[in-house]
Amino acid sequence: MSDPNGSPKTKRLRYPRFAEIARPDVRFAVQAALTSQRQPIYLVNPETNEYIDGAINAPSIYLTFIPPPPKNQVPQRAFGFVPGPALAPKKTKRETLKIDATLYFSYPNNDFFTGYDEKSGVTVIVIQTWHDAEVEKWKRIAQKVANQLAIVRKTEVIPRVYFYISSYTLPKDPEASHQFIIKPESCEGCSDAISHHFLDSQDDMYFEDE
C-alpha cells in the first residue's frame, strides 16, 4: 500500500514491554504507619546504622523509640560579612544506638513465611523484638498498624498486612537490657562486627549485648 505521494507505507514495529514499575507501596506504607504512632517509632538502616529520613526499600529495618540526635549546624560566624573560608559543621561523636526491634519484610530463614501471599492478597511481615518481655507491646503496635492499612468496605474489613511477632533473646538475668545496644568505638580501620572482633574496613562501630 502506498500513500498519495506514491511512497510505500512503512509498518511501525511494536516492541514488547521491557520496563515496569515495581514500587514497594506496602513497605513504604508500613514504615509511615510505624513512625506516625502516638509514641513515635524511629527507623534505622541496619546497613549503615544511620536514622532513616523517610522510608527505604530494604529487607529489614531496625526500630527504636529513641529519637535521632539533633543535626549539626554551621557556626554563626560562617555567615558574617567578611569573606573567608567556608566553615564545615563540627562532627560530633556518633551516638549509641538502642534498638528495640527489627522489622523484617524478608525473614532470613524458614521459620516464618514473609512477603506477598497470593492466596490471601496479604503481605506477611515479621517484627522481632530484642527481649522476649517486649513481645506483647509490639503485638499491640503491629495490630494498630494493620488496622490503619486495612481496607474497609461497608461491613467488610480487608487486611493488607499480617504480622508475626517474635523475640531474639530470653535472658535468665532479670536486669538484662530490653534493647540491642550498638556502641561507637574509636578504632582505625574497623568495621561492624559481632562482639569485639574487628574486620578491616572504614567503619568505626562494634556491637555489644547489654
pTM: 0.72
Instruction: Render the burial of 91-124: b for 16+ CB within 10 Å, e for the rest.
Output: eeeeeebbbbbbbbbebeeeeeebeeeeeeebbb
Res 154: pLDDT: 85
pLDDT at 189 over 70: no
Mean pLDDT of 21-25: 86
pLDDT at 2 over 70: no
pLDDT in tens, 28-66: 999 999 999 999 999 999 999 999 999 999 999 999 999
Mean pLDDT of 131-147: 97
Res 127: pLDDT: 98
Pick the residue with more confidence: 3 or 190?
3
Res 49: pLDDT: 94
Element containing residue 63 per DSSP (H, E)? strand 60-64
Alpha-carbon span 46 to 102, nearest angstrom:
9
Mean pLDDT of 129-155: 95
Res 155: pLDDT: 86
Alpha-carbon span 141 to 64, nearest angstrom:
13
Mean pLDDT of 68-93: 58
Partnered with residue 63 across adjacent β-strands are 43, 101
Question: For residue 74, what pLDDT band results from cuts at 50, 70 and 90?
Answer: low
Q: Calculate what percentage of the chain has a pLDDT beyond 90.
A: 59
Res 201: pLDDT: 34
Alpha-carbon span 146 to 114, nearest angstrom:
15
Three-state SS letters, 150-182 = CEEECCEEECCEEEEEEEEECCCCCCCCCCEEE
Which of 12-21, 44-53, 63-72, 185-194 has the weakest average pLDDT? 185-194
